[in-house]
Amino acid sequence: MPCSGNSDEICGGSYALSVYSNDPDYLGCWSDPHSAETRLFPILIDTSDDMTTAVSDQHMYAAG
């Protein structure tokens, strides 16, 4: 939606947002060159319907 002060600019407002689309170039298939021991997060943490940032933090803290 155009801004009321400058119609050349896009403005938001209550319950308004801008949506953009960017089609990335296809880069092909790749494989992870790291082993589970050298990855930043070497464990898989499953999510659940009650996942929150606090629960995620607890899982990561417990994993070291």
- For 10-64, give the secondary structure using H, E and C: ECCECCECCCCCCCCCCCCCCCCCCCCCCCCCCCCCCCCCCCCHHHHHHHHHHHC
Q: What pLDDT, on a 0 to 100 scale, did the predictor assign at position 43?
A: 67
Q: What pLDDT, on a 0 to 100 scale, did the predictor assign at position 46?
A: 67
Quick check: 43 and 61 in contact, CB under 8 A? no
Domain ranges of the chain: 37-64
Q: What pLDDT, on a 0 to 100 scale, did the predictor assign at position 7?
A: 85
Q: What pLDDT, on a 0 to 100 scale, did the predictor assign at position 52?
A: 86
Backbone angles phi, psi at 16, to 5 degrees: -125, 140
Side-chain-side CA neighbours of 26 within 13 Å: the count stands at 2
Quick check: 43 and 63 in contact, CB under 8 A? yes
Q: What pLDDT, on a 0 to 100 scale, did the predictor assign at position 36?
A: 66
Mean pLDDT, 10 residues at a time, the chain of 64 residues: 81 74 87 72 71 83 79
